[in-house]
């Protein structure tokens, strides 16, 4: 049985569903002939590209799906047939957990399957021909977006404008802080038909790692991106009149710290820094100052509270000044993004070749060495 329970949603975006699942019961055995009942059907979660969690929620609100019951043993068929399996279709990029947080499996590509409830055994001699019930469990389907790049930045850094400039996505854009309330995915197209996916994640706020704002709901999406695209306002940022003003350098440091506090290895991902709004007055001077600070971040760590200084700083593969509003630097940024991803792909290929070569060498048996004695 599967029915959908309350889920988290942002606008039309649903990234978490809670389900109750139950496998089918086994079939009865036949004592007088020693017949064995059929096993109950299983419940599987299966990845399918065109599915979304919102579609699952809309299609099956408070409805039940019953894994088939195993057939009873009979004179005509001493071994009962297995009950029909029940499949719950879900998009790739799903982590399946139980209510205790234990990971049952992950759906990374189309066709991946995770068993979430086994059917009961059919009745047999060992169970006095009585069948058992199927497993029952509360599970969660948790979506972590899969994209080549995840844009990370504080609100109003210009991430949505940048996504529009890079791709054909049309996220909501305005001059107030919290414009993006749900993740947006755009595709960057190249002349050789290469496509790179970019996820615009809603702006973080200080304390996101403690689930302030929409912290955990969106930090988790960063985990499933290959690389990070930091976006900062060259002139700095202030969320509200009562919050401190942060320079571009401070914004970079705080973003690294928020990722680090959520999951320590997140800042280890390859990263590109985009310095936006270069069309503003004094932008060149502020960019020069930022570049100097990035070369020696420890020298300027006093600008931040001690508990907000990152343990380890990121060495960005590229620092690219742009203006999403005017288009300045966008073509160069596309080139840098492509170079960074191609570099990773090349390293991964080389590593794979080395591993295969090493495995082949280990599989070749050592040849016997003949020792020749002195000739008579």
Residue range 155-170, pLDDT digits in tens: 878 888 898 899 865 5
Least confident of 104-113, 164-173, 284-293: 164-173
Residue from 295, 195, 177 nearest 246 by CA: 177
Residue range 119-159, pLDDT digits in tens: 999 999 999 999 999 999 989 998 877 789 989 888 878 88
Sign of CA dihedral 147, 184, 92, 134: positive
Average pLDDT over residues 314-331: 95
Average pLDDT over residues 302-315: 89
Neighbours of 238 (CB within 10 A): 14
Least confident of 29-33, 177-181, 247-251, 298-302: 177-181
Highest mean pLDDT pick, 241-250, 257-266, 323-332: 323-332
Residue range 228-257, pLDDT digits in tens: 999 999 999 887 778 889 999 999 999 999
Domain boundaries defined on the chain: 16-143, 147-348
Please give the pLDDT value at position 61.
76
Residue range 2-13, pLDDT digits in tens: 444 444 443 456
* 182 band by pLDDT with thresholds 50, 70 and 90: low
Average pLDDT, the chain: 83
User: What CATH code is assigned to 147-348?
Assistant: 3.40.50.300
Q: What is the fold, at CATH topology level, of the domain defined by 16-143?
A: Spo0b-associated Gtp-binding Protein; Chain: A, (2.70.210)
Please give the pLDDT value at position 365.
57
Q: Is the entire prediction scored with pTM above 0.85?
A: no
Highest mean pLDDT pick, 110-124, 212-226, 240-254, 357-371: 110-124
Count Cβ atoms within 10 A of the Cβ of residue 194 and give its class: 0-12 exposed, 13-18 middle, 19 or more buried.
exposed
Please give the pLDDT value at position 170.
56
d(C-alpha 155, C-alpha 175), whole Å: 10
Count Cβ atoms within 10 A of the Cβ of residue 33 and give its class: 0-12 exposed, 13-18 middle, 19 or more buried.
exposed
């Amino acid at each position: 049985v599967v029915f959908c329970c309350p889920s988290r949603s942002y606008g039309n975006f649903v990234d978490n569903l809670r389900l109750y699942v139950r496998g089918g019961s086994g079939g009865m055995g036949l004592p007088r002939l020693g017949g064995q009942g059929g096993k109950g059907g299983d419940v599987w979660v299966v990845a399918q590209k065109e599915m979304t969690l919102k579609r699952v929620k809309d299609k099956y609100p408070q409805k039940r799906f019953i894994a088939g019951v195993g057939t009873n043993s009979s004179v005509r068929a001493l071994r009962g047939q297995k009950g029909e399996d029940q499949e719950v279709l879900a998009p790739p990029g799903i982590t399946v957990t139980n209510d205790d947080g234990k990971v049952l499996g992950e759906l990374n590509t189309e066709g991946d399957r995770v068993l979430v409830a086994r059917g009961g055994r059919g009745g047999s001699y060992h169970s006095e021909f009585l069948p058992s019930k199927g497993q029952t469990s509360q599970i969660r389907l948790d979506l972590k977006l899969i994209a080549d790049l995840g844009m990370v930045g504080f609100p109003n850094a210009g991430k949505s404008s940048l996504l529009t400039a890079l791709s054909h996505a049309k996220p909501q854009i305005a001059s107030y802080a919290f414009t993006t309330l749900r993740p947006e995915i755009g595709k960057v197209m190249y002349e050789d038909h290469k496509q790179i996916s970019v996820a615009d994640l809603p702006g973080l706020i200080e304390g996101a790692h403690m689930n302030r704002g929409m912290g955990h709901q969106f930090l988790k999406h960063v985990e499933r991106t290959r690389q990070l695209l930091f976006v900062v306002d060259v002139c700095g940022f202030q969320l509200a009149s009562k919050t401190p003003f942060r320079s571009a350098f401070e914004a970079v440091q705080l973003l690294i710290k928020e990722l680090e506090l959520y999951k320590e290895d997140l800042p280890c991902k390859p990263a590109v820094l985009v310095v936006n709004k270069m069309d503003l007055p004094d932008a060149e001077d502020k960019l020069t100052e930022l570049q100097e600070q990035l070369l020696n971040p420890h020298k300027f760590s006093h600008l931040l509270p001690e508990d907000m200084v990152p343990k380890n700083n990121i060495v960005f593969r590229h620092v690219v000044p742009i203006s999403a509003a005017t288009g300045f630097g966008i073509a160069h940024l596309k080139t840098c993004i492509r170079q960074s991803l191609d570099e990773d792909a090349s390293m991964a290929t080389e590593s794979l070749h080395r591993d295969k070569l090493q495995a082949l060498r280990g599989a070749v048996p050592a040849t016997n060495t003949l020792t020749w004695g002195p000739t008579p």
